[in-house]
Amino acid sequence: MFDHIIVGGGTAACVLANRLTANGRLRVLLLEAGGKPRNPWIRIPAGFTKLLVNPTYNWRFETKPEENVLGRSIAIPRGRGLGGSSLINGMIYVQGQREDYDQWSALGATGWSADTLLPYFIKLETYAFAQGMRGTDGPMHIDQVRERYPIAGAMIEAANEAGFPYNPDYNGTEQDGFGYYQVTQKEGQRWSTYDGYLKPALARPNLEVTTGAMVVKLVFEGKRCVGVTYLRDGHLTTVSAAQSVILAAGAVQSPQLLEASGVGDPMRLKELGIDVVHANSQVGENYTDHFATRMNWRVRGASTLNETTRGWQLVRSVIQYALTRRGALRLGTGLVNGFVRSQPSMTTPDVQYFFMHASYANAAVRALDTKPGMTVGVTGLRPSSRGSIHIESADVRQPPAIRPNFLATTEDQQCLINGMKIVRDIMGQHAIKRYIDFEMSPGIAIERDDEWLHFARDNGQTIYHPIGTCRMGSDENAVVDPELRVCGVAGLRVVDASVFPAMVSGNTQAAVMAVAERASDLILADDHR
């Protein structure tokens, strides 16, 4: 018998496992379907390109084909293994805007305002350039991108020429402007939540971690969750929780497991032969994700990753990284950032940019061009389009149906169109023009809004930030309450990005860690009552 059972071993789960076992009194079991992070590419930042197509570390989900993206299926990477998506992501660290969390509170997630969450952001991080309200002794090491390339500096200068300021810390008081990304790295290596949170806790006698264990069902007695059943090595095992089961399986698999266990839309569950434990039609709804286009330019007069990561130059880059932890292999998905307002009426930035001196022949699998190139990814920060994730089988080994409904609203369409136009304007500035041979995509022939939108529909991809499918709130349609307890049942919580009531303005890992930090305090407070 355990006090708490954590389902999943990803970003939030690692935080929970550490914090809940620190007092030595609570007995905690963590169940993870994947394994330990043993692949050598995990520690090398540039190795994410290898891991995104590796089924050992990526569940490799895909969306259902949708008309909004011209009938395409789009990859939805989700981390597999201890550390979850923090093992395979681009390592970009963005806390978001104060307004994001104040909106959560306004939407009914009471107790989740910016002022409440700020101490948790400070608690979780050790930031190498800390000034002001930043952490200096947390478990997660945050660094600034250390590599400096003339073309990257030219991008920041060109943005300034176009009217956008330099911002040395977008996680400080203001997000607006351009600068270098902050990343979850320590001494030039990836620093995952496994490194920061779980690994230091593994020796504790009150923490048990079982890998290769896929939870297939939540066990209920009436309306109380009392344990889980998991599959390992072909055998089913049921374990009990005296206090709670905590779903931390992520925005795809947490709603999937709820539905497969009888919590969801009764009509959907009955069609699949699943007994209804609690009726809630909102489980799996409110799916939100960041959708991004990638604009590309052929480069002249500068070296890019397209050349330095192949042939003899790759050998040189490998040697450089091995000896100094510097160079091309230290880079993730972003070098230069930009946060801008797509229209003067915006009170805060609503577009995020990702600049890299690289271009992709196939972005989905991170296959680089053979000739010099650079890319600017463009994403709308706060999409209003909503989709869903729902099971098509009672067997959780079968992937759920993911329907993001990207670009469904006029607001999302115009935000992305305006964001791409701003990039083209920046690329026309003196500082960067000397590096540009020509615009590869969408190409200068694209000028009308309908042409920009078609390009987005045809070429856009998710940047892997699904949230909202177990929405937190105080209303009757909420899936979890502000204490992260699943509404309508006892002994069950959800702690991951699925509980976000709305999207945050940036990459989601930082917000997930802050949510898990506060969730740990809420759970421990219950333990003392």
The 3-state secondary structure of 34-54 reads: CCCCCCHHHCCHHHHHHHCCC
pLDDT of residue 348: 97
pTM of the model: 0.96
Does any domain span residue 496? Answer: no
Q: In the chain, how many domains are there? A: 1
Does any domain span residue 32? Answer: no
Instruction: State mean pLDDT over 453-467.
Output: 96
Instruction: State mean pLDDT over 195-222.
Output: 98
With cut-offs at 50, 70 and 90, classify the pLDDT of residue 305: confident
pLDDT of residue 364: 62
Answer whether residue 181 shows pLDDT above 90. yes
* Active-site residue, selected from the candidate residues 4, 278, 390, 465: 465
Separation CA 492–CA 484 (nearest Å):
9
Does any domain span residue 337? Answer: yes
Instruction: State mean pLDDT over 345-356.
Output: 96
Look up the CATH number of the domain holding residue 292. Answer: 3.30.560.10
Give the tokens for residue 527. 């333990």
Residue 23 CB partners (closer than 8 Å, separation 6+): 524
Residues 285 and 473 sit within 8 Å (Cβ to Cβ): no
506: nearest Cα among 94, 81, 84, 168 = 94
394: nearest Cα among 497, 488, 264 = 264
pLDDT digits over 359-402, tens only? 887 666 667 888 899 999 999 999 999 999 999 999 999 999 99
Does any domain span residue 187? Answer: yes
Instruction: State mean pLDDT over 258-273.
Output: 98
With cut-offs at 50, 70 and 90, classify the pLDDT of residue 474: very high
With cut-offs at 50, 70 and 90, classify the pLDDT of residue 529: low
Does any domain span residue 414? Answer: yes
Instruction: State mean pLDDT over 196-206.
Output: 98
Give the pairing of strands 28-32 and 2-7. parallel
SS (H, E, C) 126-190: EECCCCCCCCECCCEEEEECCCCCHHHHHHHHHHHHCCCCECCCCCCCCCCEEEECEECEECCEE
Instruction: State mean pLDDT over 254-270.
Output: 98
pLDDT of residue 130: 83
Average pLDDT, the chain: 95
pLDDT of residue 366: 66
74: nearest Cα among 65, 82, 83 = 65
Q: Which residue has the higher pLDDT, 306 or 63?
A: 63
Does any domain span residue 19? Answer: no
With cut-offs at 50, 70 and 90, classify the pLDDT of residue 263: very high
pLDDT of residue 363: 64
Instruction: State mean pLDDT over 161-189.
Output: 96
Instruction: State mean pLDDT over 8-30.
Output: 97
Does any domain span residue 245? Answer: no
Give the tokens for residue 378. 């463009």
Instruction: State mean pLDDT over 432-450.
Output: 96
Answer whether residue 427 shows pLDDT above 60. yes
Separation CA 103–CA 110 (nearest Å):
10
Residue 371 belongs to domain spanning: 42-63+72-77+128-192+288-462
Does any domain span residue 418? Answer: yes
Indicate if 141 belongs to the active site. no
DSSP 265: -
* Amino acid present at 493: R
For residue 526, give the 3-state DSSP assignment: helix
